[in-house]
Chains A and B, each alone.
Chain A
């Protein structure tokens, strides 16, 4: 089905450029390389943020009438991810530490086609153009898992099928990857098998040049990182942690809500991956993150502007930087018997193994224990760099703290949801259970740990039903 506009295989990049260019044109002030470390709340209102200016190492308090979080996701919780190093879930973690819950964190999407070992994303446009997944026996295995839509089944279905193929020993050479084959001869072969046609009814057949024209960036990635030319060779791929459906709970106008009754916190907004408007439910479809940022980015911007024009500043809390000071001081003065990178790696491994594509009670209980141990060990991390200017060492260590909070909340939320729904797939509870679990998780965090509450799902046009491909 053709359901979206696109710009080659870099639609998001083009949107980003256009937005940035229009910001330049309209003289928007940017505080480049300031990183937010805390959100300020007083009288139940969002009233600003505390941020570190990397260039000087100074902390700044931004007193604001309205604050919008657009801080992105947290794919770096997992070992193999398509996400940037900076995707450490700071926005959600900062909100959690201030008593704002995180919604539906157990729903994290694993994209089926990450470049082997690196996780770099190969767009599903490759399969849209006719590429197919092949196992070590040369079989197009998606026929068995989704006989109708085959390789175009939704991301979670394909990721699970790949996982099962690899577990059955049909990974390429027995390893943790499969082939994504977009060579024209393969594409044309399976297009004939499927009886695929162009919109005018003529048979669907492509040339190497067609593949090049449709997928220039992907071809460049493969050549650069694997020395593989997708026009003549298959691409080694494995599922990669890609997108958080959960996040800071908001209304459809981007207003942050703080409990199961959807109580709005005035002056605080969130949009994009860091937010959970829940348009994606338990499982986002490809491209819809771009619709999300455009629609809800605009909504939250308009609402925040309206709010700011109608309200005065809420007073700043007393000593607004104290909480951040405390966190930074700890990273400067701890005994240094632990290394942040070790803790991060151990967390990423256990999360990928046990809170990944497939989940079990046993695995997740083990993961939760491990993450809590790592949080204890994290108290001993001290940054090496004791200077002020561009201290990315201390910042990275601080981000590991965010990742640990996100990992704990994710695991706890996933452990409690005893069913399979969307991206949350449990081997011990393989069916969806609407009677018990047609509800959103809200995870709250304090010194004692994570507390879960639930709120009902709003039903509109589409009721959940079994996915049959």
Chain B
């Protein structure tokens, strides 16, 4: 079948402002949107620029707006979105070129929440053990691939890029609720900030956007509760 793509293009070296360009490609129902972008790039217009690598939803490099919602181009199939597809770069981050946005502000927020294991106690001989229940407590948030789809779907983040954003909170959650970690209080203090977690108003765009089906809003709710009660449970 023929599929019509409408892609928001911007090349800072040649364009004054972004504009849409239309392409028609041959496709099958179970082609990925990424396949269609590749078809355009390889055979019609090599200047079309986007990030991609693994092509199966694990590396997180091809998050973009597809028909108005944030998706990974490699995890959306033609039969999910139909024969007219509008593709735009993620919102809330500066566009570098076409579908490529500047992710530095996103990673700055990520790095700000201590997204790593902290425990200065001498390790026991062998491993730091935890029960399957303790491990399950944060399993959902270990699935994050830092694709930025959640943060750039959040109206609060669109309102202010200073907001730390859901992805960073998800990463903090992964350690706050890890029984082996010792820095939960520090992370909660970092997030209990004007530009921290209280900018979240339970809009649920993030949960819908997550290609890994992480219950993002729920994770944020658990972090809020931990700050409010002073208890990590």
Inter-subunit contact B13/A224 (CB<8 Å): no
Q: Is B42 interfacial (CB-CB < 8 Å)?
A: yes
Tell me the smallest distance from the CB of A127 to a CB of chain B, in Å. Answer: 20
Q: How large is the interface on A (under 10, 10 to 19, 20 to 34, 35 or more residues)?
A: 35 or more
Contact stretch, chosen from A15-23, A38-46, A131-139, A435-443: A15-23
Q: Is B11 interfacial (CB-CB < 8 Å)?
A: yes
Inter-subunit contact A383/B46 (CB<8 Å): yes
A-B pairs, 3 with minimum CB distance: A384-B46, A341-B42, A21-B116
Q: Is A291 interfacial (CB-CB < 8 Å)?
A: no
Report the Cα distance A118→B142, complex, angstroms: 26
Inter-subunit contact B13/A388 (CB<8 Å): yes
Q: Is B185 interfacial (CB-CB < 8 Å)?
A: no
Smallest Cβ-Cβ distance to A393: which chain B residue: B46
Q: Is A334 interfacial (CB-CB < 8 Å)?
A: no
9 sampled A-B residue pairs with Cβ under 8 A: A225-B32, A339-B42, A340-B42, A384-B45, A387-B47, A390-B49, A392-B41, A393-B49, A396-B41
Q: Is B52 interfacial (CB-CB < 8 Å)?
A: yes
Report the Cα distance A55→B111, complex, angstroms: 21
**Which B residues are CB-close (under 8 A) to A17?**
142
Partner of A389, one of B54, B96, B142: B96
**Which A residues are CB-close (under 8 A) to B59?**
84
**Which A residues are CB-close (under 8 A) to B198?**
none
**Which B residues are CB-close (under 8 A) to A120?**
55-56
Q: Is the interface of B mostly helix, strand, loop or mixed?
A: loop
Smallest Cβ-Cβ distance to A341: which chain B residue: B42
**Which A residues are CB-close (under 8 A) to B57?**
220-221, 224
- A85-B52, A120-B56 known; 8 other A-B pairs, CB under 8 Å? A22-B116, A85-B54, A340-B42, A388-B13, A389-B96, A389-B97, A392-B41, A393-B49
Report the Cα distance A22→B143, complex, angstroms: 17
Inter-subunit contact A14/B142 (CB<8 Å): yes
Q: Mark B1-45, 1 if CB is under 8 A from A, else 0.
A: 000000000011110000000000000001010000000011101
Smallest Cβ-Cβ distance to A226: which chain B residue: B30
**Which residues of chain B from 50 to 85 have any CB-CB distance to chain A below 8 Å in the complex?**
50, 52-59, 75, 77
B14, B46, B50, B55 interface centre (most CB from chain A within 10 Å) = B46
**Which B residues are CB-close (under 8 A) to A225?**
30, 32, 56, 77
Inter-subunit contact A392/B49 (CB<8 Å): yes
Report the Cα distance A220→B213, complex, angstroms: 10
Q: Is B161 interfacial (CB-CB < 8 Å)?
A: no
**Which A residues are CB-close (under 8 A) to B97?**
389-390
**Which B residues are CB-close (under 8 A) to A396?**
41
Q: Is A385 interfacial (CB-CB < 8 Å)?
A: yes
**Which A residues are CB-close (under 8 A) to B52?**
85
Tell me the smallest distance from the CB of A240 to a CB of chain B, in Å. Answer: 11
Q: Is A86 interfacial (CB-CB < 8 Å)?
A: yes
Q: Is A13 interfacial (CB-CB < 8 Å)?
A: yes
Inter-subunit contact A389/B53 (CB<8 Å): no
Q: How large is the interface on B (under 10, 10 to 19, 20 to 34, 35 or more residues)?
A: 35 or more
Partner of A385, one of B47, B53, B58, B111: B47
Q: Is A25 interfacial (CB-CB < 8 Å)?
A: yes
Report the Cα distance A85→B43, complex, angstroms: 17
A25, A85, A341, A387 interface centre (most CB from chain B within 10 Å) = A85
Tell me the smallest distance from the CB of A165 to a CB of chain B, in Å. Answer: 24
Q: Is A305 interfacial (CB-CB < 8 Å)?
A: no
Report the Cα distance A260→B134, complex, angstroms: 52
Tell me the smallest distance from the CB of B178 to a CB of chain A, in Å. Answer: 12
**Which residues of chain A from 90 to 126 have any CB-CB distance to chain B below 8 Å in the complex?**
118, 120
Tell me the smallest distance from the CB of A95 to a CB of chain B, in Å. Answer: 22
Inter-subunit contact B53/A24 (CB<8 Å): no
Report the Cα distance A85→B35, complex, angstroms: 11
Inter-subunit contact B46/A24 (CB<8 Å): no
Partner of B47, one of A25, A84, A384: A384
| A390 and B213 in contact, given A339-B43, A341-B42, A383-B46 (Cβ under 8 angstroms) | no
Q: Is B176 interfacial (CB-CB < 8 Å)?
A: no
**Which B residues are CB-close (under 8 A) to A388?**
13
Smallest Cβ-Cβ distance to B213: which chain A residue: A220
Tell me the smallest distance from the CB of B193 to a CB of chain A, in Å. Answer: 20
**Which A residues are CB-close (under 8 A) to B43?**
339, 341
Q: Is B155 interfacial (CB-CB < 8 Å)?
A: no
Report the Cα distance A385→B47, complex, angstroms: 5
**Which B residues are CB-close (under 8 A) to A224?**
57, 75, 77
Inter-subunit contact B41/A84 (CB<8 Å): no
Report the Cα distance A396→B53, complex, angstroms: 12
Partner of A24, one of B14, B47, B77, B115: B115
Tell me the smallest distance from the CB of A115 to a CB of chain B, in Å. Answer: 8
Smallest Cβ-Cβ distance to A120: which chain B residue: B56
Tell me the smallest distance from the CB of A223 to a CB of chain B, in Å. Answer: 10
Inter-subunit contact A385/B117 (CB<8 Å): no
Q: Is B100 interfacial (CB-CB < 8 Å)?
A: yes
**Which B residues are CB-close (under 8 A) to A13?**
58
Inter-subunit contact A24/B13 (CB<8 Å): no
Inter-subunit contact B100/A390 (CB<8 Å): yes
Q: Mark B98-122, 1 if CB is under 8 A from A, else 0.
A: 1010000000000100111110000
Tell me the smallest distance from the CB of B132 to a CB of chain A, in Å. Answer: 11
**Which A residues are CB-close (under 8 A) to B143?**
10
| A387 and B14 in contact, given A24-B111, A341-B42, A393-B41 (Cβ under 8 angstroms) | yes
Report the Cα distance A383→B49, complex, angstroms: 13
**Which A residues are CB-close (under 8 A) to B77?**
224-225
**Which B residues are CB-close (under 8 A) to A22?**
116-117
Q: Mark B186-224, 1 if CB is under 8 A from A, else 0.
A: 000000000000000000000000000100000000000
Q: Mark A214-230, 1 if CB is under 8 A from B, else 0.
A: 00000011001111000
Inter-subunit contact A390/B46 (CB<8 Å): no
**Which A residues are CB-close (under 8 A) to B30?**
225-227
**Which B residues are CB-close (under 8 A) to A389?**
11-13, 96-97
Inter-subunit contact A55/B55 (CB<8 Å): no
Partner of A55, one of B53, B56, B96, B142: B96
Tell me the smallest distance from the CB of A402 to a CB of chain B, in Å. Answer: 15
**Which A residues are CB-close (under 8 A) to B12?**
389
Tell me the smallest distance from the CB of B21 to a CB of chain A, in Å. Answer: 14
Smallest Cβ-Cβ distance to A13: which chain B residue: B58
Smallest Cβ-Cβ distance to A81: which chain B residue: B55
